[in-house]
Structure 1
């Protein structure tokens, strides 16, 4: 009986050890990252560095144009979405262009994000001169249209929404997150805003600055925005080495890689993407400055 008891104990111990996984930061990024826990919001296969950097993800996409005459509170835009309905609903993100720009300045992001499993609405603003506070209000109006009236509303989980923007649109994404703390994620690309402090934000926030930005210099915009965020908030600052203010206006792999991982982690609650965010990437040829609140709660 004693030998039987010892044998059973050893069997249980070995089984438990076999189930132990390496910590997220140690996961090799050239291999798929998986999680044991079942997450109903996971969409798509396990990620790899190659899948995050690909110009298209696993989902086929389509798009539909929304006239400004059909909406109120913003200037219309283009919705990009996965064509499949077999995987359930998707999280959604509204995206604002910057000062004097239109949706075309960020059009590369539409199919790139949608093909990773999101409904993406790149908007036009009421006027090209709208300030960040107005752009934040318009992003929220776009999300209301997207989930309440759009032709693709049935594909969207209205409880998993995010905002994103460039320049004044990036400042607008912070404004939207301040107004609606229920948003799951905010991504600000070379953001500009006269408000430099954001301690009230409760939305996980990714800020991507550009080292050579002369329009929204990081010392007076991106860095103060980041440092003002609450210490308990999941947040990351990435500064693109040698890049200008307009880096987000053309296809950019570091921006896409970080944005997809951030949206997946916080909109889809997909822990398979944690190793691509924490530990934060090192300063080097891609980034001139990196700051993060890793590990995230």
Structure 2
């Protein structure tokens, strides 16, 4: 009996040392547990600190901004403009956005987007068009020409990730942003602001699109412009419709907290793939004193 107990104790000692005995076989090392898988890599395109309600509504973001004026004589395909860019060089490259004005307007009408968006971590190009009477299809081509210049020839080309680009525009420039998105599906985001276009149907667009309309717009009424633009986009597309409350066709021409908040969130979410900004887009924002209506698909893919 003592011999049996001694043998059993020996077995326990062997097992406790990391060995398992199999009948008819010699003791062998126990298979080591698989190492824990590393956590998923952080999004390499995130820029700036974690956003808050106050940070996306603030007049200025995290980054200091500089600007570079581009003469129409030094470019082709559009009328020149102003590049706004973060001065930070330690955070890697940034996504970029080209912004077009409306009928009879110049880049000065869109200047406020430059510093506001750039300070949140984008390179922004507010452009002049070839003529102030250019129609949406032409403005769409000019937005793309501006992006090509920005990423290939501009003095800040090395600060830009050419795979992360978007377009914005007001009125005919907004119609132009839809034209650009239709022509170049590799874009990451489009934002037509109280857009105007004779083409009301955009099922070909594959670019995540935020359509911004104004309840008091009499030049491009939402019923004949922004609403059909939005409704014609593919239902499978990441899309949203923001109708401003107490606003006019020209509301996007002056600094506006609601436009800034949702534009920044849309660009961050889709140009930077920064899901930290999903909180401002989903669940669907409710109507309030600034928002007449908001539609969209949530959660975003």
TM-score range, shorter chain: 0.7 to 0.9
- Relative CO higher for 1 or 2, CA cutoff 8 Å, sep ≥ 6? 1
Q: How does 1:156-167 map to 2 (within 5 A)?
A: 156-167=160-171
- TM-superposed CA distance for 1:284, in Å, is 2.0
- TM-superposed CA distance for 1:37, in Å, is 5.3
Are 1:223 and 2:203 counterparts? Answer: no
TM-score under structure 2 normalisation? 0.86
**What is the distance in 1 between the residues matched to 2:294 and 2:56?**
19
Are 1:82 and 2:104 counterparts? Answer: no
- For the residue of structure 1 that corresponds to 2:83, the secondary structure is strand
Q: 1:261 aligns with which of 261, 265, 268?
A: 265
Q: How does 1:1-297 map to 2 (within 5 A)?
A: 38-297=42-301
**What is the distance in 2 between the residues matched to 1:88 and 1:280?**
32
Alpha-carbon spacing, 1:71–1:130, altered in 2? closer, same or farther (3 Å)? same
Q: Deviations over 1:5-36 (max 9, x none)?
A: xxxxxxxxxxxxxxxxxxxxxxxxxxxxxx97
- For the residue of structure 2 that corresponds to 1:157, the secondary structure is strand
Please, what is the CA RMSD of the aligned residues? 1.2
TM-score under structure 1 normalisation? 0.88
- For the residue of structure 2 that corresponds to 1:108, the secondary structure is helix
**What is the distance in 2 between the residues matched to 1:197 and 1:292?**
17
Q: Deviations over 1:72-126 (max 9, x none)?
A: 0000000000001100000000000000000000101100000000000000000
Show structure 1 runs of 5+ residues with no match.
2-34
- Over alpha carbons, which structure has the higher Rg? 2
What residue is the counterpart of 1:26 in the other structure? none
**What is the distance in 2 between the residues matched to 1:37 and 1:217?**
45
Q: Deviations over 1:47-66 (max 9, x none)?
A: 00000000000000000100
Show structure 2 runs of 5+ residues with no match.
1-11, 13-38
Number of aligned residue pairs: give it: 264
